[in-house]
Amino acid sequence: AQTIHQWPVAEIKAVGSPLSLGCTIKGKSSPNLYWYWQATGGTLQQLFYSITVGQVESVVQLNLSASRPKDDQFILSTEKLLLSHSGFYLCAWSLVGLWAETLYFGSGTRLTVL
C-alpha cells in the first residue's frame, strides 16, 4: 500500500526566515508529485508538480521553490518567508498517465508566519 508522509506537521516561523517542508511517498515507483497551498477559507492552489526526479514545474509564483532530489521525495522551500505564506501545505501524488486523474494527499503541514 502506498503511504505519503509530510513533515513537519506544523511550523511557526518569523517573517524573513527560511523554510523547508518535505514529503515522502512509499510504495509507488516514480509517481507524479504535487504541492498545494490551502488558504484560510479552504481554496486550494496548485503550486508545483513534478513527473520525474530533478524536474519541477512551477504553476504559480509565490516566492517559493520546490525540488525533487529523489524519486520518492518532494521538498518545498523558500529563503525568506512572507506573511502571505501562512496556510496549509499539502503534498499529493498521482499515477503516471496522460494526465492527473486522481490525487492522493498527505496530512498536510500547517504554517504560521509571524
Partner 1 sequence: TQTVSQSDAHVTVFEGDSVELRCNYSYGGSIYLSWYIQHHGRGLQFLLKYYSGNPVVQGVNGFEAEFSKSDSSFHLRKASVHWSDSAVYFCAASMNTGYQNFYFGKGTSLTVIP
Binding positions for partner 1, rule: CB under 8 A: 6, 32, 34, 41-44, 46, 49, 51, 57, 59, 90, 92, 94, 98-108, 110
Q: What is the per-residue DSSP string for 71-88?
A: TTEEEEEESS--GGG-EE
CA atoms of 14 and 114, how far apart (whole Å)? 5
> Measured from the CB atom, is 68 or 106 closer to partner 1?
106
Which amino acid would we find at residue 71?
Answer: D
Compute the least distance from the CB of residue 44 to partner 1, in Å. 4
Q: Which three cell numbers stand for residue 80?
A: 525568506
Compute the least distance from the CB of residue 43 to partner 1, in Å. 6
CA atoms of 87 and 51, how far apart (whole Å)? 25
> Measured from the CB atom, is 16 or 27 closer to partner 1?
27
Compute the least distance from the CB of residue 104 to partner 1, in Å. 7
> Measured from the CB atom, is 5 or 80 closer to partner 1?
5
Element (H, E) at 92: strand 87-94
Q: Do 62 and 46 form a contact (C-beta atoms < 8 A)?
A: no
Compute the least distance from the CB of residue 54 to partner 1, in Å. 16
> Measured from the CB atom, is 29 or 99 closer to partner 1?
99
